[in-house]
Amino acid sequence: PYDVLVVGGGPAGAAAAIYAARKGIRTAMLAERFGGQVMDTVGIENFVSIPYTEGPKLAAGLEQHVKEYGVDIITAERVADIQRQDIVRLRTESGATLASRSVILATGARWRELGVPGEAEYRTRGVAYCPHCDGPFFKGKSVAVIGGGNSGIEAAIDLAGIVGHVTVLEFADTLRADDVLQKKAHSLPNVDILTNAQTTEVVGDGKKVTGLNYLDRATGESKQLALAGVFVQIGLVPNTEWLQGSDVALSDRGEIEIDARGATSVPGIFAAGDATTVPYKQIVISMGAGASAALGAFDYLIRQSVD
Ligand code: FAD
């Protein structure tokens, strides 16, 4: 068996693999795709100490750094099941099994998509999912936020300080965000909130977003907004469906519950990054969490009896 088996090759998984391998223990990484969400990102301006980089470049850097250590890397495989008796056993979708004394789960998350025409076409060309990441690209311009839950209203408040104007579109007839956030958003002069607004299409000029179309569900009318950006804030879904029914405790949103050392509810199973209950989902945060989980796994391993 391995000492540490990392599942996931994004920022959290890469940091975990590097920290584990540097302890001189047998380390492996299983990842469907190296780089994770970073591969879907164009400009990155908040990776501390690197003022500007791009997703594929950062992903290549993660891969190169991991490969400098003797980490066994298995890609293009998805894990399907995990079980722990004396050691942890993973089964992949193709039927292979892997055994390890400890495991670090870093399978990340994905943004829930609207699924309307134009969304995929204009992704990274006006359609954005992360206000912390992409807000400054829309300085002084008009943007929409789709979704009136906590993340949507937080995004609107955040963006209102950077962009020219924010329109929030909520499908239901009321917002779901906390009252205090709603009050704050309503108090801002450059934020408009539309309820009963069903986004039907993201519109562009072939190069970038120019607006969106929505259905006013109260009147049945189709309406347009002219915009430079559309922030989709209808949820971040952790890639943990495969853990349903396992002994690893998940929150009601499907996030892996961890403590400050990255330990899950199962001894020997650790987790890090966007797949977990960590409150903020960012590259630097995932990397720090991956490092913590690897150190947590190492502390766990040195306390196991020798047999
Ligand atoms: P991920 O990056 O999601 O990596 C998950 C890994 O697990 C991948 O290797 C995946 O292939 C693998 N995996 C998933 N399921 C399985 C499975 N069943 N079996 C095997 N492997 C599996 N953050 C910033 O800090 N700055 C930014 O500018 C920024 N911009 C962003 C732009 C976009 C468009 C997106 C989508 C995100 C952005 N983020 C940004 C967020 C950032 O990318 C994430 O916080 C970060 O990538 C999370 O790292 P992670 O390692 O936890 O997960």
- In tens, the pLDDT along 118-158 reads 999 999 899 999 998 899 999 999 999 999 999 999 999 99
> Is 134 an annotated catalytic residue?
yes
CA distance 104 to 16: 8
Whole-number Å distance between alpha carbons of 31 and 24:
21
Q: 3-state SS of 16-81?
A: HHHHHHCCCCCEEEEECCCCHHHHHCCEECCECCECCEEHHHHHHHHHHHHHCCCCEEEECCCEEE
> In 68-163, which ranges are continuous DSSP H helix?
131-134, 150-160
pTM attached to this predicted model: 0.90
Which of these, 240, 286, 238, 289, lies nearest to 44 by C-alpha position? 286
What beta strand segments (E) does 106-206 contain? 109-111, 127-128, 142-146, 165-169, 191-194, 197-204
Number of the ligand 1 atom closest to the C-alpha atom of 43: 28
Distance CA 34, CA 199 (A): 33
What whole-number distance in Å separates Cα of residue 255 and Cα of residue 175?
24
Tokens 């072939």 belong to residue: 206
The whole-number pLDDT of residue 47 equals 96
3 is in an annotated binding site: yes
- Which pLDDT value is given to residue 42? 80
pLDDT at position 170: 98
Whether the Cβ atoms of residue 246 and residue 82 lie closer than 8 Å to each other: yes
**Is 40 assigned a ligand-binding role in the annotation?**
no
Q: Is the pLDDT of residue 20 over 80?
A: yes
**With 0-12 CB in 10 A as exposed, 13-18 as middle and 19+ as buried, what is 87?**
middle
35 CA distance to ligand 1 centroid (A)? Answer: 7
**Ligand 1 centroid distance, CA of 128 (Å):** 15
pLDDT surpasses 70 at 51? yes
Contact present, 186 and 161 (Cβ < 8 Å): no
Give me the chain's average pLDDT, please. Answer: 96
Say whether 133 is catalytic. Answer: yes
Q: What is the pLDDT of residue 41?
A: 84
The number of beta carbons lying within 10 Å of the beta carbon of residue 264 is: 25
pLDDT at 307: 60
Q: What is the pLDDT of residue 223?
A: 98
Q: How far is the centre of ligand 1, averaged over its atoms, from the C-alpha of 59 (Å)?
A: 10
Per-residue pLDDT band for 6 (boundaries 50, 70, 90) equals very high
Q: If you take atom 40 of ligand 1, which residue's CA is the nearest one?
A: 282
Is residue 261 predicted with pLDDT exceeding 90?
Answer: yes
Q: What is the average pLDDT across 171-178?
A: 96
**pLDDT at res. 40:** 84
Q: What is the pLDDT of residue 92?
A: 96
Over residues 60-108, the pLDDT tens digits come to 999 999 999 999 999 999 999 999 998 999 999 999 999 999 999 999 9
**Which residue has a Cα nearest atom 19 of ligand 1?**
78
Structure tokens, 124:
């990274």
Q: What is the mean pLDDT of residues 259-269?
A: 98
Per-residue pLDDT at 15: 98
The ipTM assigned to this model is 0.99
Please tell me which residue in 40, 72, 81, 130 is annotated as part of the active site.
130
Take residue 62 and report the two structure tokens written for it. Answer: 């993660």
User: Does residue 301 surpass a pLDDT of 70?
Assistant: yes
State which ligand 1 atom lies nearest to the alpha carbon of 13.
51
Q: How confident is the model at residue 43 (pLDDT cuts 50, 70, 90)?
A: confident
Ligand 1 neighbourhood includes 110 CB (under 6 angstroms)? no
